[in-house]
Amino acid sequence: MSPDFFSLDSLLSKEEKATQSLINKFVTKSLMPTINEHFQAGTFPKDLIPEFGKLGLLGATIKGYGCPGLSYTTYGLMMKEIERCDSGVRSFISVQGALAMYPIATFGTEEQKNKYLPKMAKGELIGCFGLTEPEGGSNPGAMTTKVIKDGSDYLLSGKKRWLTNGSIADIAIIWAKNEDGKVIGLIVDLGLKGITVKKLDAKFSLRVSYGTEMQFDNVRIKPEQVLGVIGLKGPFSCLNIARYGISWGVVGAAEACYLEALDYSLNRSPFGKPLASHQLIQAKLVTMFTEITKAQMLAYHLGRSMDQGQTIPPQISMAKMNNVSEALKIARLSRDILGANGVTYDYHTGRHLMNLETVNTYEGTEDIHRLILGQHITGISAY
């Protein structure tokens, strides 16, 4: 049972509790039994994608077009349950909903919405998101990927890196600079001529997630594939939704590590009494317990704020920065309590630890979010 020291559960509606319980049971039954095998093999449980759709996990907060239209708080609870299993699985769902479906729902035409969103909500059409480039990630305004007019069409050229889901995706939301130097968004059919897709397998972390690099060589894009937004507000609005989901998701990973360490310390007695009876172990467990409680409260209140339309981006930055950082520290403490066993596939902590190293980097590094908050506090940009 997840720690709930301040009775957060009592603040949830019956519908929110029911949805969380449904996803919890799905994760326990269908994801947990094979997740370490998938991580070791570097594979994603693709057979479960239709189930993600049936459970309302894909594009959860989008209303209409076959999408669930759930609250942001409900979505957050769902992400917590998914990441209790693995950050890579949550990454798949986050990218599909927040980074691929959300820009179509927010900036797309009715034709685009009707064409893509119903199939994406069912998991019949997979999307990915291309903003980061090989030479830099924290400054997307310096992107070199270009799109130029060619008659009524556009020609897209450049390279993107770290497109989660890219090697199994059907479409990509690609952000590129037009001839005026303005950033625009494109819905790119990945079956078009001139696209090279390279799966990035050599990685220690997020092995269940398919990271990808894409090269675009004069790819012809029809005008009806252009999204109705200009500037970095387009991709940044998508990232804010993804960061919100992360702030909830990592609480699930932290809870999983804590519960594994607690169980281990209660049942292992190398000195004739349980590890949990030692002061140093209890101190570590209390630190984990406390930081989880604080992260839960931050995620919950951010979710309610999102539901009321009152959130500002720096609040999302604080939640992403704090919750991921603390989850990573909790995973390290759990690994320490588990000793050498913590790096084996007999347990889940080591996998969470490696995954959270990446989650602490993507969707804005911890330092970038500190700078966002610093600018909010002082009014001075330190970029």
The structural domains of the chain, ordered by start, are: 8-126 (1.10.540.10), 128-230 (2.40.110.10), 233-378 (1.20.140.10)
Angle, helix 233-267 to helix 349-359, in steps of 10 degrees: 160
CA dihedral 199, 204, 205, 207 (to 10 degrees): 50
Residues contacting 54, CB < 8 A, separation 6+: 122
The predicted-structure confidence for 255-303, as pLDDT tens digits, reads as follows 999 999 999 999 999 999 999 999 999 999 999 999 999 999 999 999 9
The predicted-structure confidence for 125-149, as pLDDT tens digits, reads as follows 999 999 999 987 888 889 999 999 9
Which residue in 245, 264, 294 sits closest to 4, CA to CA?
294
| Residue range 57-85: mean pLDDT, rounded | 98
The predicted-structure confidence for 81-124, as pLDDT tens digits, reads as follows 999 999 999 999 999 999 999 999 999 999 999 999 999 999 99
Compute the distance between CA of residue 39 and CA of residue 61 in angstroms, rounded to an integer: 28
The yes-or-no verdict on residue 1 having pLDDT over 80 is no
Residue type, 268: R
pTM of structure = 0.96
Q: Which residues pair with 64 in a beta bridge?
A: 67
Compute the distance between CA of residue 11 and CA of residue 148 in angstroms, rounded to an integer: 51
Which residue in 345, 286, 305, 346 sits closest to 5, CA to CA?
286
The yes-or-no verdict on residue 382 having pLDDT over 80 is yes
What is the helix (H) or strand (E) element at residue 159, kind and residue range?
strand 153-161
pLDDT for position 11: 97
Q: Which residues form the catalytic set?
A: 363
What's the farthest any 2 CA atoms get from each other in the chain? 80
User: What tokens were used for 272?
Assistant: 């004739």
Compute the distance between CA of residue 84 and CA of residue 203 in angstroms, rounded to an integer: 21
The yes-or-no verdict on residue 58 having pLDDT over 80 is yes
pLDDT for position 135: 87
| Residue range 209-223: mean pLDDT, rounded | 97
